[in-house]
Amino acid sequence: MSELPLPRHVAIIMDGNGRWAKQHKIQVALGHRKGVETLRAIIRESSDLGIESLTLYAFSTENWRRSPEEVAALMGLLLEYFTSEIDELDEKNVRIRILGDKDGMPEKQRAALYNAEERTKNNTGLNLNIAINYGSRAELARAARALAAKAVKGEIKPEDIDEAALSNELYTKGQPDVDLLIRTSGEMRLSNFLLYQCAYAEFEFPPVLWPDFDLAAYHEALDAFRHRDRRFGGRNS
């Protein structure tokens, strides 16, 4: 079996900030803050490695169920992150896309998210997708609505709706399917993340909490991926 190259598209469910905070007997908001440091390092490394797309799950449509204090802390961090990092990311030629419903976000955050996309739209380096107010089922329903609207207007016929047409209405339009999905903290579920795009993804569940996920752990996951035998339903030998 030959060793695979690096994944083209890595997706990460950054999980475990809450448990990390609990372990260190500090507020959950500080766990999230520590998690942002990990995120910075992983983005930088992915860009340096020449990975094509990196998708990070930052806030799900279900995360609104958390306490108002925790949601406010996450919204604050988000705004802080986009304000402080945008220059460096732009300099690194990173193209930012937000996956999820930006218009359902508070005013300032919404503006920062639109600005990040607009400012980096001509960049040609790492495709950095940040999933915020994202749910995979909502994304699929939105795609179905868009296709139905086109059909009603007569722009397409129902029989034109194939996998490519559907994929073209997803937030990840134009990017390769996920090759490697990493979820930290030991949880082994998708939590409504990229259900369509992960159809043939390889999964890695490193047992560390997100704030402890360092570059060595990232490389371990990438190496594990390179030793997988991906068959896509066929046979390799």
DSSP string for 71-136: HHHHHHHHHHHHHHHHHHHHHTTPEEEEES-GGGS-HHHHHHHHHHHHHTTT--S-EEEEEEEE-H
- In the annotation, is 63 catalytic? yes
Q: What is the nearest approach in angstroms of ligand IPE to the Cβ of residue 173? A: 21
What is the contact mask toward ligand IPE in residues 65 to 94, using x (rule: CB under 6 A)? ---------x--------------------
Distance CA 186, CA 16 (A): 9
Question: Which residue shows structure tokens 């996956």?
Answer: 99
Nearest by Cα to 138 from 169, 181, 161, 159: 169
The sheet carrying 95-99 orders its strands as: 95-99, 127-134, 53-60, 9-13, 180-183, 202-204
- Which residue, 61 or 127, is less far from Mg ion as judged by CB? 61
Closest CB to ligand IPE belongs to which residue? 18
Report the partner that residue 213 touches, choosing among ligand IPE, Mg ion, none (CB closer than 5 to 8 A by kind). none
Segment holding 38, helix H or strand E: helix 28-49
The rounded distance, in Å, linking the Cα atoms of 135 and 58 is: 11
Q: Is 15 a catalytic residue?
A: yes
Residues 26 and 194: their CA atoms lie apart, in Å, by 32
**Is residue 105 a contact residue for ligand IPE (CB under 6 A)?**
no
Taking the complex as a whole, how short is the minimal distance between the CB of residue 106 and ligand IPE, in angstroms? 16
Nearer to Mg ion, 15 or 85 (CB): 15
Are 204 and 11 spatial neighbours (Cβ–Cβ below 8 Å)?
Answer: no
Please identify which of the residues 15, 17, 127, 179 carries the catalytic annotation.
Answer: 15
**Interface ranges with Mg ion (CB under 5 A):** 15
| Cβ proximity to ligand IPE, 66 vs 150, nearer residue | 66
DSSP code string of 128-182 = EEEEEEE-HHHHHHHHHHHHHHHHHTTSS-GGG--HHHHHTTSTTTTSPPPSEEE
The site string for ligand IPE over 140-179 (x = CB under 6 A, - otherwise) reads ----------------------------------------
> Considering the complex, what minimum distance in angstroms separates the CB of residue 58 from ligand IPE?
5
Kindly determine how many residues on this chain lie close enough to bind ligand IPE according to the rule CB under 6 A: 17
Closer Cβ to Mg ion, 167 or 192, answer by number: 192
* Closest separation in Å from C-beta 179 to ligand IPE: 19
Encoded one letter per residue, x for contact with ligand IPE by CB under 6 A and - for no contact, window 45-64 reads ------------xxxx--x-
Residue ranges in contact with ligand IPE by CB under 6 A: 13-19, 57-60, 63, 74, 185, 187, 189, 191
List the catalytic residues: 15, 63
